[in-house]
Structure 1
């Protein structure tokens, strides 16, 4: 039987795991240092929203796609796929659908 206490504990453990992995990856921290900081962040989150449900929306695809297009060099599909956790095919679709506007040329006159 799953109790509320077990579910809450599972959620807290998962939050800590996500925070630790994200801090280590994003800020190139050791896992130990990231875990210590994750503890502090988790405590602050619990103090702010503990006991209530919190919806965290996913990242904006528009913003992500814009970043991918800005970083695309013509031959870095694999690197972008890894960086943004997408397949190579998804990166190909994103860069092929980018808005390519003609350069504005000023006419002297």
Structure 2
């Protein structure tokens, strides 16, 4: 498993919040861009948080595929979910009242 590295120098990890996320539902909106910030694709995933670790990331068990997805452990980006029904753009699936939501951008590095 690849470790995530804090690149901004801040060390504001909230161990209590990280622990509170385990067992909660999380709706994640992922935007994938290339090294020039051009859009590659967008994806939405939803599932239960299995673990949260400062180095390993957020382990999210996807509701539909049962796949374990690792998300960057950027706790500041996670917000309480607003009540309602969320339509996933990639599927016909709907998510009702997620505990938390997060929007993340995944940037591909320039490869030589």
Shorter-chain TM-score tier: under 0.3
With normalisation by structure 2, the TM-score equals: 0.22
Which structure has more relative contact order (CA 8 Å, sep 6+)? It is 2
With normalisation by structure 1, the TM-score equals: 0.22
Larger helix proportion, structure 1 or 2? 1
Larger strand proportion, structure 1 or 2? 2
